[in-house]
């Protein structure tokens, strides 16, 4: 068939070229002459520009779009038919023929009609026949006329052959055969030889197609030019555009959407193009065109919904494609895609992701196999013995196998047979037929979906894993931080232990040393003896104090200290503390000034602990004051709901950077630990804990050489603070 069409094209081409040359150089004086003369006609002049091509520019653009779509979607079907040819050479010849075909059609379509129109300007002639006959006839060139006639005839036959065969193949493969094979009672699958049936169906449908063509020509076609009939079908083809383009580029496009779009599109197309032509042919009443369907103004086939100003074709293109697309998109958006659709959509849209650009092979399972005999039998039923033998031998030669001996056909062989069979009965049917023969079940779509789902799950898992490992990393970070903190705490504990033992050892050593002296020297005089004993007593007092402090601190930190809460007059506590330290003050000749309100200042708290705070602050002040010049001021102020106590000295002061750390355990900033007699570095730590327990604050204001002021606050008992203290006392226990 391809050879026949190629030959026909050559004949046609020669005929057209002959006419073209004859007209251009025989009747006129070359191209420029033709164009110059054409420009003199007003109604031809406009054909040289775009201003008034066929009504309006919108018309022109819409026609262009439709033609583009027609090329795309009919070319696709051409290619898919072409794919069935297995040999590369035949594919090439196909392409060559189609190129030739296209070339000479352009030649005749673009050039000849213009010349003809010019020649017959003002006369009423049939535009379709312009090219074929008039010129040579006018010039009375009989031989040329004959050649042109042969060319035209061959063009027409070629067209008829190509189209009828294509159509009848489609009717046979995609309509009749699947239907017949599905009708189980016909038992077609059991029949030995189906070639006869196939041929009959093909031939029948060829006759049917030609008859339909003839009837259309007879009843409808004569009212229209060839061009408008062609355009009518172009518009029909264009209805596939939304669904096909959507299928390629849009994942959400669904089957229902595509169906809806197609149905709407075709309905609008049918109503606006073929239907009016039937009306013109007299099959329906003329009023439908003038007054609309059922007399509704909006439903006039050429002015749908009142649209004016378009040509008939572009009017149809506009409405059918618009409504088609709207239908496709809306239904797609509102319908749920099935699993299969989802996966097919992602397979189509992300085709390169799945294949890396490689053509997807058929999805028979890797182990699909069948007996070569079975395949041969199957193919023979549709192609006949001769053709089947040919196919098999050819395959065997290429793959260097002896198919008659090889009992099992491999996946590749099965695929090949399927493709050949698809050429005869269509791909859907071929798949089903092969599936019945092949031992291994073909991968059903469900299975494909399952595989895809698994892949998706794996992907999801990977994502989950990534998430988890990120979380783990975070946790590890936290753990590391916690670990560091623990190590630090551990180090602090070690420090604490070593400091405590160190602190304990110093007094212990001196106690022991002096005791030994006393023990070894009974003859020591009484004064010395007294002196040593007083040191021993002082040191053991220091030991006791230190141990008590450590115990206190430990209890406070572990919240096991037994607080004895009661109503306390804080002025009285201050006075008692002063009295307790009066001896020390007198020894160092330190002046004091105490500023207390006359009325008692009640707070709720642990009296002994508050006493401890005062003693600690006062003894620190004494310790860091110079004797003789030293001066200590004590002040109690009542500020709204709390009292503030200041202990001010004019001693050595504390550097800014040390003012916070002196409240921590074992922090002594003046000299080495233990070098200050009576100091342990625990006093302020304990003080702060006691104040904080009473919900107060403690701070220091100081500068080196300018003395220090330690201040703390306590809530007053007559305020609501009372309950709070009680409560937290309970909590602490």
Residues that bind ligand ADP (CB under 6 A): 616, 620-621, 624, 649, 651-652, 654, 662, 667-670, 676, 679-685, 708
Radius of gyration of the chain measured on its C-alpha atoms: 54
Please report how close the Cβ of residue 677 comes to ligand ADP at its closest, in angstroms: 10
Name the nearest CA neighbour of 235 among 80, 364, 59: 59
Measured CA to CA in angstroms, residue 279 lies from 250, 308, 319 at distances of 39, 20, 20
Cβ atoms of 47 and 34 closer than 8 Å: no
What is the DSSP secondary-structure string of 604-644? EEEHHHHHHHHHHHHHHHHHTSPTTT-EEEEEEEEETTEEE
Q: Nearest approach, Cβ of 644 to ligand ADP (angstroms)?
A: 17
Classify residue 26 by its DSSP letter.
I
Shortest Cβ 598–ligand ADP spacing (Å) = 28
Shorter beta-carbon distance to ligand ADP: residue 422 or 617: 617
Q: Specify the residue, 152 or 683, whose C-beta has the smaller distance to ligand ADP.
A: 683
Q: Residue 194 or 647: which CB sits closer to ligand ADP?
A: 647
Residue 111 vs 649, nearer CB to ligand ADP: 649
Interatomic CA distance for residues 268 and 293, integer angstroms: 13
**Based on CB atoms, which residue is closest to ligand ADP, 604 or 689?**
689
Question: CA dist 166 to 10, 205, 206, 209, Å?
Answer: 21, 10, 9, 10
Residue 231 sits at φ, ψ, to 5 deg, of -65, -35
Q: How far is the CB of 500 from ligand ADP (least distance, A)?
A: 13
3 state DSSP class of 126: coil
- Cβ 683 to ligand ADP shortest distance, Å: 3
Which of 236, 615 has the CB closer to ligand ADP? 615
Q: Which is nearer to ligand ADP, 104 or 649 (CB)?
A: 649
Contact 323, 238 (CB under 8 A): no
Find the Cα–Cα–Cα–Cα dihedral 384, 387, 393, 396, rounded to 10°.
-80
**Cβ 658 to ligand ADP, closest distance in Å?**
7
Tokens of 542: 């220091």
Beta carbon of residue 496, minimum distance to ligand ADP (angstroms, whole number): 14
Of residues 382 and 710, the one with the C-beta less far from ligand ADP: 710
φ/ψ (deg, to 5) at 470: -65, -45
User: How many angstroms separate the CA atoms of 653 and 96, rounded?
Assistant: 105
When the beta carbons of 227 and 669 are compared against ligand ADP, the nearer one is: 669
Q: Which is nearer to ligand ADP, 280 or 670 (CB)?
A: 670
Cα–Cα distance, 229 to 312 (Å, whole number): 12
Output the smallest distance, CB 625 to ligand ADP, in A. 8
Bridge-based pairing state of the strands 642-649 and 708-715: antiparallel
Q: In 107-253, at which residue ranges do the beta strands (DSSP E only) sit?
A: none
Q: How far is the CB of 665 from ligand ADP (least distance, A)?
A: 8
Alpha-helical regions (H) of 402-525: 411-425, 427-437, 445-520
Q: Indicate the residue among 37 and 667 with the shorter CB distance to ligand ADP.
A: 667
The enclosing H or E element of 260 equals helix 255-272
Q: How far is the CB of 600 from ligand ADP (least distance, A)?
A: 27
Question: What distance in Å separates the CA atoms of residue 371 and residue 414, rounded to the nearest whole number?
Answer: 9
Q: Min. distance of Cβ 502 from ligand ADP in angstroms?
A: 13
Name 388's Cβ contacts closer than 8 Å, sequence gap at least 6: 376, 379, 380
Task: Round to the nearest angstrom and report the end-to-end CA distance of the chain.
Answer: 105
| Smallest gap from residue 674 Cβ to ligand ADP (A) | 9
Which of these, 38, 14, 318, 337, lies nearest to 154 by C-alpha position? 14
Instruction: Decide whether 163 or 587 has the Cβ nearer to ligand ADP.
Output: 587
């Amino acid at each position: 068939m391809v050879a026949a069409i190629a030959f026909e094209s050559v004949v046609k081409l020669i005929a057209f070229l002959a006419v073209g040359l004859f007209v251009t150089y025989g009747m006129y004086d070359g191209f420029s002459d033709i164009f110059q003369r054409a420009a003199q006609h007003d109604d031809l002049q406009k054909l040289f520009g775009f201003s008034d091509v066929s009504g309006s520019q919108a018309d022109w653009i819409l026609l262009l779009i439709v033609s583009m779509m027609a090329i795309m979607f009919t070319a696709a079907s051409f290619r898919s038919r072409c794919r069935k040819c297995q040999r590369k050479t035949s594919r090439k010849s196909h392409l060559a023929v189609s190129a030739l075909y296209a070339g000479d059609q352009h030649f005749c379509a673009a050039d000849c009609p213009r010349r003809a129109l010019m020649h017959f300007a003002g006369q009423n002639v049939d535009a379709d026949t312009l090219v074929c006959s008039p010129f040579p006839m006018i010039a009375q060139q009989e031989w040329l006329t004959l050649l042109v006639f042969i060319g035209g005839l061959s063009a027409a036959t070629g067209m008829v052959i190509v189209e009828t065969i294509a159509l009848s193949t489609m009717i046979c493969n995609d309509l009749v055969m699947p239907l017949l094979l599905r009708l189980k009672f016909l038992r077609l699958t059991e029949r030995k030889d189906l070639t006869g049936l196939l041929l009959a169906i093909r031939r029948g449908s060829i006759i049917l197609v030609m008859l339909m063509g003839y009837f259309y020509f007879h009843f409808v076609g004569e009212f229209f030019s060839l061009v408008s009939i062609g355009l009518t079908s172009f518009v029909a083809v264009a209805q596939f555009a939304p669904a096909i383009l959507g299928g390629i580029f849009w994942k959400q496009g669904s089957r229902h959407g595509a169906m809806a779009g197609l149905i709407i599109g075709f309905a609008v197309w049918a109503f606006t193009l073929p239907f009016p032509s039937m009306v013109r042919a007299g099959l329906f009443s003329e009023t439908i065109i003038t007054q609309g369907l059922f007399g509704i103004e909006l439903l006039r086939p050429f002015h749908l919904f009142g649209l004016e100003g378009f040509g008939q074709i572009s009017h149809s293109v506009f409405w059918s494609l618009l409504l088609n697309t709207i239908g496709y998109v809306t239904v797609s958006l509102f319908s749920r895609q099935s699993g299969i659709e989802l996966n097919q959509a992602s397979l189509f849209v992300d085709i390169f992701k799945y294949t890396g650009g490689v053509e997807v092979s058929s999805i028979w399972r890797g182990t699909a196999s069948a007996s070569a005999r079975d395949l041969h039998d199957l193919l023979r039923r549709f192609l006949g013995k001769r053709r089947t033998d040919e196919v098999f031998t050819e395959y065997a030669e290429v793959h260097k196998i002896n198919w008659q001996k090889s009992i099992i056909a491999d996946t590749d062989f099965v695929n090949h047979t399927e493709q050949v069979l698809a050429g005869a009965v269509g791909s859907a049917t071929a798949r089903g037929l092969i599936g019945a023969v092949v031992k291994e079940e073909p991968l059903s779509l469900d299975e494909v979906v399952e595989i895809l789902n698994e892949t998706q799950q794996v992907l999801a898992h990977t994502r989950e894993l990534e998430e988890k490992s990120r979380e783990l990393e975070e946790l590890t970070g936290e753990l590391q931080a916690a670990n560091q903190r623990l190590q630090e705490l551990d180090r602090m504990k070690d420090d604490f232990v070593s400091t405590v033992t160190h602190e304990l050892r110093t007094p212990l050593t001196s106690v022991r040393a002096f005791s030994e002296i006393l023990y070894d020297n009974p003859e020591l005089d009484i004064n010395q003896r007294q002196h040593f004993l007083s040191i021993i007593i002082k040191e053991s007092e220091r030991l006791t104090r230190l141990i008590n402090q450590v115990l206190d601190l430990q209890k406070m930190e572990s919240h096991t200290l037994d607080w004895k809460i009661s109503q306390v007059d804080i002025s009285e506590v201050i006075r008692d503390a002063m009295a307790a330290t009066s001896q020390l003050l007198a020894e160092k000749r330190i002046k004091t000034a105490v500023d207390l309100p006359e009325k008692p200042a009640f707070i709720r708290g642990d009296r002994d602990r508050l006493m401890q705070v005062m003693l600690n602050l006062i003894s620190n002040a004494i310790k860091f004051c110079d004797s003789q010049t030293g001066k200590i001021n004590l002040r109690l102020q009542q500020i709204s709901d709390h009292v503030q106590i200041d202990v001010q000295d004019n001693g050595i002061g504390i550097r800014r950077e040390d003012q916070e750390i002196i409240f921590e355990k074992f922090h002594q900033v003046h000299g080495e630990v233990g070098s200050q007699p009576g100091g342990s570095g625990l006093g302020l730590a304990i003080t702060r804990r006691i104040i904080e327990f009473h919900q107060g604050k403690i701070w220091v204001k100081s500068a080196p050489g300018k003395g220090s002021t330690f201040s703390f606050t306590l809530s007053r008992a007559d305020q609501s603070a009372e309950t709070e203290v009680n409560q937290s006392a309970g909590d602490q226990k």
